[in-house]
Structure 1
Amino acid sequence: MPSSGPQDFQVKSEQTSSGPRYAVVKLTPEVVGVLQEYGPGALAGSFPDKRRPDSIKFGIGDVVSVTIFEAAAGGLFIPAEAGVRPGNFVSLPNQNVDSAGNITVPYAGAVRAVGRTPAEVQQDIVKSIGNRAIEPQVVVALITQNTSLISVLGEVNQPNRFPANAAGERVLDAITRAGGPKGPGWETWVTLERNGRRATVPFGSVVFSPLNNVWVHPGDSIYVYREPQVFLAFGASGQQGQFPFDMWKITMAQAMAKAGGLLDAQAEPAGVYVYRREPRELAERLGVDGSKYVGPLVPVVYNVDFRDPAGYFLATKFDMRDKDVLFAANAATVETAKFLQFVRTVVATADDTIVTTNNAHILRLNLKNGTALNTN
């Protein structure tokens, strides 16, 4: 019989003839609690280090200044004649960290700078000139950062590559320095890439979930782009098709309302499903046997029973995700009604054929009798 999708018992049987295997998970308060723990928190999960970034270190190409102080005149850098120059320090010309990772300081020679903090370089210089200068003190400063940079690209008002803040900054701080996102927040996504690892979340989850607003490290790249979040509705709902979230997140109850609710004369209230793929770890926490499935993602079908009044409370706590499929199965009586209608059509067609045949036979008899009468 024609249908808009599988019947309720077929989905719950977890049997498939051609597609990937899947697991049916009934929506309960415990399941909702686990899903909320695994909400759109990809940044917090992929970059779990919650510590502030380390101090900025020198890299090849950075411009560095060195200032050397002595306790009295007549030392290595300050002339004995007090009136020759003011102050008890000398500032060396700014210099780049060379390709070997060093800077050059008179009487100290090449000093290793790459991968080290200003304080570490200062200590090395003091040790090198300590037996020549008079109680030397050294100040090393980063004048121009050419390596400890953060890139913010994509749908922001001022895409840029700017120096990392020595005080540390988070994802939202970096996006703000780039002028903020161009488009509406609910259509905006944020991708953070660090050392070959990448994670993407909706912009709203960074704003409303503080754990996702992670620290940004030197060398990180942030890509902001626009892609409306949508879900797809099929089956016995008021409308079928693709629907935008129009906000950064919606619940199953809101999605059902957007799709026109359940059709009173067609839907099975206990057969409403959401199809999605979940990480293996999450699926196993939901009671799914992960050994039956191949790959890092497990196809999961969530089922909510709207015959139970509490099902509506659960639906208001179940967050939809981008590209979820919402399916409402037909009631069993609908399939029976379709079959009975088909039988009626067949019987009516047969009756029409018999009636037509009888009428044709009567017409032939009438014509034959009429011909005989005319002959007489």
Structure 2
Amino acid sequence: MKPLSLRLAKGVALLAALVLVSSCGLPRSGPNKSEIFAGSVMREGDAFVLLVDDRVNRIASVTPALGFAESFVNAGQLGSDTISPGDTLSLTIWENVEDGLLVAEGQNATVLEEVQVDGAGFIFVPYAGRIRAAGNTPEAIRRIIVEKLNEQTPDPQVQVRRLAGNGATVSITGAVGAQGVYPIERPTRTLAAMLAAAGGVTVPPEIAQVTVIRGDHSGQIWFDDLYAHPGHDIALRSNDRIFVEQDRRSFTALGATGTQNRVPFESQTISAIEAIAQVGGLNQALADPTGVFVFRNEPEAIAQQLVGRTDLQGAQRVVYVLDLTGPNGMFMARDFAIRDEDTVYVTEAPFSQFNKTIAAITGTLGQTTAAADTLAGN
């Protein structure tokens, strides 16, 4: 039988362990369900805490769509023969007289090679003067030159050709096969065709975003949508700037999940179930499947619909509650769309805290008992 002093020492150690654990907070990954609910506007906080159901899903699962404005969509394709500033033309002029204005003696034609269209869109032709070229076709320019020269030489014949090198160009940068400045030519008059000419995209197509900047306006579209929906493709204009980048949206996963991290989107849309799976699922040893929360700042219009109030002003803090154990819990989580900058948090199950308490007590008790045994042996 153990000496009374040793049994007394172990009893004192157990009591001390209980006092120590009860007075000190045990380590945990974040707030529990009660603490989150206490942050509701109905209690002592400033967040709206909402249980996710079909109605909430219809209102909250709105994902911003990418697409071009009408000014982009309605812009017609540039004609393949339309001259632009920066184009280079070749002019051949025939005259039906021996002593012509432009044709040298003994010849019947003169060639004006590499006539540059200036920045204002004009070219200069001797004896015809300054002629507007930009916006016209080679045929229209030919008629203008003939009309100008016809007053000075009888029945002149003129040929106008555009040389290689188109003045209408676009710049392409970002995640493409070959960045650079590309001419708008017959095969590359649309956005999809121009991206193909630049070697396509070098990031996963499903998360590639394409931005087109035209003057003071810009539009953005998913790369996949250019091919899944051909009607979304647009005609290009000179000086368009095209930028391709990988989707920069992300969400944060915290709590009793497989990993706690900032997680980039891997597709255009991600549901709550997919978000949890993307971080390794629920931690089987810690997670409480009845306590999956999504923290989000909702725009005023959506927040008013969610809570049925019209007096809200500005973005509102909203906490969505997902109970995966409910009759339709998995379906609700599958239909709930995660948005950029969301925080997905999984609470710890009550038994995990109990286990931590027991582990802390037994660990503390074991150390104290060893110390008591040492003292009793002295």
Assess same fold via TM > 0.5.
Answer: yes
CA displacement at 1:163 relative to structure 2: 0.5
Checking the alignment, whether the CA contact within 8 Å between 1:186 and 1:248 is kept in structure 2 is yes
Aligned match of 2:330: 312
Aligned match of 1:61: 86
Aligned pairs for 1:203-352 within 5 A? 203-204=223-224, 206=226, 208=228, 213-225=233-245, 231-243=251-263, 250-263=270-283, 267-276=287-296, 292-293=313-314, 301-321=319-339, 324-330=342-348, 333=350, 341=357
CA displacement at 1:130 relative to structure 2: 6.3
SS in 1 for 2:196: helix
CA displacement at 1:97 relative to structure 2: 1.5
Q: Does 1:150 align with 2:173?
A: no
CA displacement at 1:328 relative to structure 2: 1.9
Return 5+ residue gaps in structure 2 as ranges: 1-24
CA displacement at 1:275 relative to structure 2: 4.0
TM-score (norm 2): 0.63
Checking the alignment, whether the CA contact within 8 Å between 1:232 and 1:240 is kept in structure 2 is yes
Deviations 1:120-159 (A, max 9, x none): 6556546545666778887654434454111222333322
Checking the alignment, whether the CA contact within 8 Å between 1:158 and 1:179 is kept in structure 2 is yes
Checking the alignment, whether the CA contact within 8 Å between 2:89 and 2:161 is kept in structure 1 is yes
What do you get for the CA RMSD once the two structures are aligned? Answer: 5.1
CA displacement at 1:100 relative to structure 2: 4.9
Aligned match of 1:367: none
Checking the alignment, whether the CA contact within 8 Å between 1:272 and 1:303 is kept in structure 2 is yes
Deviations 1:295-321 (A, max 9, x none): xxx766544443444343343344445
CA displacement at 1:206 relative to structure 2: 5.0
TM-score (norm 1): 0.63
Return 5+ residue gaps in structure 1 as ranges: 364-376
Aligned match of 1:50: 73
Checking the alignment, whether the CA contact within 8 Å between 1:55 and 1:117 is kept in structure 2 is no
SS in 2 for 1:49: helix
Q: Distance in 2 between matches of 1:307 and 1:246?
A: 26
Checking the alignment, whether the CA contact within 8 Å between 2:142 and 2:159 is kept in structure 1 is yes
Q: Distance in 2 between matches of 1:276 and 1:94?
A: 61
Q: Distance in 2 between matches of 1:175 and 1:318?
A: 34
Checking the alignment, whether the CA contact within 8 Å between 2:257 and 2:346 is kept in structure 1 is yes
Deviations 1:311-352 (A, max 9, x none): 433433444456543212346x569x669949x96xx98xx8
Q: Distance in 2 between matches of 1:130 and 1:320?
A: 71
Count of residue pairs brought into register by the alignment: 332
CA displacement at 1:177 relative to structure 2: 0.6
Checking the alignment, whether the CA contact within 8 Å between 1:47 and 1:214 is kept in structure 2 is no
SS in 1 for 2:201: coil
CA displacement at 1:103 relative to structure 2: 0.8
Percent identity between the aligned chains?
27
Aligned match of 1:178: 198
Q: Distance in 2 between matches of 1:97 and 1:291?
A: 58
Q: Distance in 2 between matches of 1:68 and 1:186?
A: 54
Q: Distance in 2 between matches of 1:300 and 1:121?
A: 64
